[in-house]
Structures are given as C-alpha cells and as structure tokens.
C-alpha cells in the first residue's frame, strides 16, 4: 500500500512540477517534461527485470524489498530537498528502488500460499485492493501539499509514506516466515553473477557522475525516442530467436505467436492509458474548471480516480466474466483485449469533445475527465489482468520467466510512447488537442478492429488453453 501511496503521489506531481516556471518548478517545455515522465515510468517497469534477478541471485525477496524501499525513500527526499541536477538523481533512485521492490512483493505474496487455489486468489485480491487504496490516497495528500504549499512538500510526503511503509514492513516481517528470505537460485552467486552486477552498478554510477558534472548532457526527447527503438528491436529479436532457435514445438510456436499479438496490443493500450499522468494531467491544470465555492481542487486529485474505480469496479467485472462463462458465452482472449482498447478509444473520444469546448476559451467541467478515467479504468480491467494471466498460461514452461519479462517490456514501451505522444498533445492549443486525441482514438480502434477480425484464427491457435 505505502509503495503505491508514494509512487502515485509522485506521479500526480511530476509533470506539473517540471513544467512550472512560477512556483519553483523546473520550467521545462511540455515535450521535454512528458518525455522525462515517459522515461521515468518506463524505467520503473524495466528495472523490475534486474530487480528480480538481484533477489533471485543475491539478496532474496525480503531483503530486496527492504533495500528497495530505502532507495525509493532516498530518491524522493532527494527530489524534495536537493537542488539542480539532483532532480535526475532522485528520479534514478526511485526507478532503481521500485525495480527492487515491485516484482518481489508479488513473489512473496505468491509464496505465502504455496497450496494455490482459492486462498492464493484471495491473498492476491487483498494485496491488489491494498495497493490501489494506497494509490488512491497518495495523490490526495501529495497534491494538496505540493500544489497548495510547495512542490518539495509533495515529494517529501511521498518519501515519508515510503518510510512508514518500511516501518510497517519491518514490524510485520515475522509473519512472512521463510518466504523470500533466501535467494531463489540454488547455490551461491557465481563469479559471472558478480561481474554482471558490478558492471551494471558501475555503468549507473558513471552515467550519474558524468551527468552531474555536466560532462555529458542528456537530451530527454532523443533519449526517449532512442530507447523506444531499442525496446522494439529487443522485442523483435527475441520473438524471432524464440521462433527459430529455441527448439519450440509447433503448439508452443502457435502460443508464442499469440503472445506477440498481446505484446503489440498491450503496448498500444498503455501508450494511451498513461496519458493520465502527462497530457491529461496538464489538461486538468489548464482547461478544467476546478474552483467550486471558493475552493480550488488540486490537479493531482484526479489521479486518484483510476485506483478508486479499480477498487469499486474490479469485483463487478470479475462477476461479469464468471456469469458469461456459466452461460458458455465467455469472451475470447482477443475479444477482451479488443473491448479494453475500445474503451480506451471511447475515453479519448470524450477528451476530443472536451478539447473542442475548451478551445472556445472556456474551461470544461470535471465530469469530462471523470468519464474518461471511468472508461479507461474499465479498459484496464478488461485487458491488464487478463493479459497477465494469459501470458502465464501461454508461455512455454521453460520460458515463463522470460515471457513475464517481455510483458513488462510491453508496458515499458507503452509508457515511453505515451510520454512522446503527450508532448505533442500538450503543446497544442486546446482546439488542436482534439485532433491529437482523435488520432489516439483511431489507432486504438484500428488495433481493436484487427483483434476482432482475427478472433477465430487467434482462438484456433490456443484452442487447448483454458
């Protein structure tokens, strides 16, 4: 819960802080700020891969969570109190710490219920509700302090939230027993493992030092664009190699083809969904009526809508899936993804209408944003948990870990694209933003339509998977 409190609190403030030039912010252009935001959110998911590896090889999940939380808190306090180039150091620390913490929390929850079944499902449900509760509260607190008083206070309270989480974790660690206490890899870490860890750590320290001293200057836009191409290239090479050189059976290759389709669809969805913290956040700031009876609603409060909708709607969506299955009308995997993308498109159609109204030099009512977040949250519930579950079922048994890494890679790619797209959207006038949002609508509907068109072929590829 506290990690989500911290992450979402910071997420609500980050772009607003970077574009602000009046109240002590960074004074960046929109396209630069949103590119940095995309790199930051993408980095969180990329860092989960080495974070899980460090836990498996060196520390175990319990210690990885502890040290990850400490690194996150250090990063947030750096953002709160350190000046100048320390801003980037703070972001890097938060990314690295989250990479240590994020994958290993879920791993421990799974280990608490080794028998599986209903108790494990219930455990993950409680865990899921808890993290979304933290995600809902974080923006309310951080935005109130950051926007009403000082940006630094907002980042500082996110750090305080992480410290409270560490205290709670330490006090409750006795209940975890041996779960995640030791590295999952049998035997001591090899010399090769230590070499990889040392090289990775040294590269990070070198980049930070060279950036801090001004010897190298990073262009966030170019870096975000370059990283996008790299991720696409890595994913493409991996899928080609898996098909040609991994010795997969015909059935496994068919399932891998479906995972590749899911990868593209997921990246497309997150590239739109993650506008929430960037272009949609700026739309709230600049074009939404937020003053009621003399009180101005902080912009970041709108970031609480998604987790609140997730908490309230997740049981309803689950009931719908179960009810359809009982009537033998269960939607296929590709259809559920298509519905998720369709709901994403509908949300941006709402935003296109809101942008047209705002283009007439008037601010729009918050109901437009509320409707958008509602549609996007429903889309997330249709696509995200279904995709995660499907990858674990479809992946060849010996490649499950790698496939989960690829799934995180799709989310990371979507976040990068979201940051680049947001820069183009937010620099337009409100009237022009409508056309930009419609572009996202057409792209999402296009992918959704293709998924529906190829429903039968996709279903035939995985007909033996339940």
Q: Is the pLDDT of residue 311 over 90?
A: no
Looking at residue 182, what is its pLDDT?
Answer: 61
* Domain definitions of the chain by residue range: 1-187, 234-466
In the CATH scheme, what is the code of domain 1-187? Answer: 1.20.1250.20
The reply to whether 1-187 and 234-466 are identical in fold is yes
- Predicted pLDDT of residue 369: 94
Pick 122 or 237 by higher pLDDT. 237
Smallest CA-to-CA distance from 78 within 70, 279, 24 is with: 70
Per-residue confidence at 350, pLDDT binned at 50, 70, 90?
very high
Confidence of residue 117 (pLDDT cuts 50, 70, 90): very low
Q: Which fold has domain 234-466?
A: Growth Hormone; Chain: A; (1.20.1250)
For residue range 254-305, list pLDDT tens digits in order. 888 888 998 999 999 999 999 988 889 999 998 999 988 888 899 999 999 9
Q: What is the pLDDT of residue 116?
A: 47
What pLDDT band is residue 252 in, cutting at 50, 70 and 90? confident
Reported as a single tens digit per residue, the pLDDT across 22-42 is 887 888 888 899 999 999 988
- CA 327/CA 463 separation, integer angstroms: 19
Q: For the chain, what percent of residues have pLDDT higher than 90?
A: 23
pLDDT digits (tens, 9 = 90+) for 155-190: 899 888 888 888 877 777 666 665 656 665 555 567
pLDDT level of residue 111 (50, 70, 90 thresholds) = low
pLDDT surpasses 60 at 119: no
Determine the average pLDDT of the residues in 421-427: 78
Mean pLDDT value across residues 320-332: 81
């Amino acid at each position: 819960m506290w990690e989500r409190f911290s992450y979402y609190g910071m997420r609500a403030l980050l772009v607003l802080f970077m574009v602000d030039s009046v109240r002590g912010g960074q004074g960046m252009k929109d396209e630069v700020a949103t590119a940095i935001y995309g790199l930051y959110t993408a980095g969180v998911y990329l860092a989960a891969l080495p974070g899980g590896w460090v836990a498996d090889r060196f520390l175990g999940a319990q210690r990885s969570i502890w040290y990850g939380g400490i690194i996150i808190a250090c990063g947030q306090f750096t953002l709160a109190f350190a000046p100048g180039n320390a801003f980037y150091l703070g972001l890097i620390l938060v990314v690295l710490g989250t990479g240590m913490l994020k994958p290993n929390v879920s791993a421990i929850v799974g280990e608490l219920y080794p028998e599986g079944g209903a108790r494990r499902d219930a455990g993950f449900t409680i865990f899921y509700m808890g993290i979304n509760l933290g995600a809902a509260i974080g923006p309310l607190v951080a935005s109130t302090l950051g926007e009403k008083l000082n940006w630094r206070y907002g980042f500082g309270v996110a750090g305080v939230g992480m410290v409270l989480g560490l205290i709670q974790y330490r006090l409750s660690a006795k209940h975890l027993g041996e779960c995640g206490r030791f590295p999952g890899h049998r035997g001591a870490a090899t010399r090769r493992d230590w070499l990889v860890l040392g090289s990775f750590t040294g590269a990070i320290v070198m980049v930070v030092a060279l950036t801090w001293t001004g010897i190298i200057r990073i262009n966030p836009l170019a870096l975000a664009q370059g990283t996008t191409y790299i991720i696409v290239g890595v994913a493409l090479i991996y899928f080609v190699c898996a098909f040609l050189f991994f010795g997969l059976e015909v059935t496994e290759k068919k399932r891998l083809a479906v995972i590749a389709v899911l990868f593209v669809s997921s990246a497309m969805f997150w590239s739109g969904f993650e506008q929430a913290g960037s272009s949609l956040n700026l739309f709230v700031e600049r074009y939404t009526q937020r003053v009621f009876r003399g009180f101005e609603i902080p912009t970041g409060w709108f970031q609480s809508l998604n987790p609140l909708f997730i908490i309230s709607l997740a049981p309803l969506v689950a009931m719908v899936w179960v009810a359809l299955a009982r009537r033998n009308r269960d939607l296929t995997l590709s259809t559920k993804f298509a519905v998720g993308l369709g709901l994403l498109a509908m949300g941006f159609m709402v935003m296109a209408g809101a942008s047209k109204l705002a283009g007439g030099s008037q601010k729009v009512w918050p109901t437009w944003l509320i409707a958008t977040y509602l549609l996007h949250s429903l889309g997330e519930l249709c696509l995200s948990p279904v995709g995660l579950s499907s990858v674990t079922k479809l992946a060849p048994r010996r490649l499950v870990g790698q496939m989960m890494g690829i799934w995180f890679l799709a989310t990371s790619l979507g976040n990068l694209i979201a940051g680049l797209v947001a820069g183009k959207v937010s620099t337009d006038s409100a009237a022009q933003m409508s056309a930009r949002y419609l572009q996202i609508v057409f792209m999402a509907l296009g992918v959704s339509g293709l998924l529906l068109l190829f429903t039968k072929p996709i279903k035939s590829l995985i007909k033996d998977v339940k």
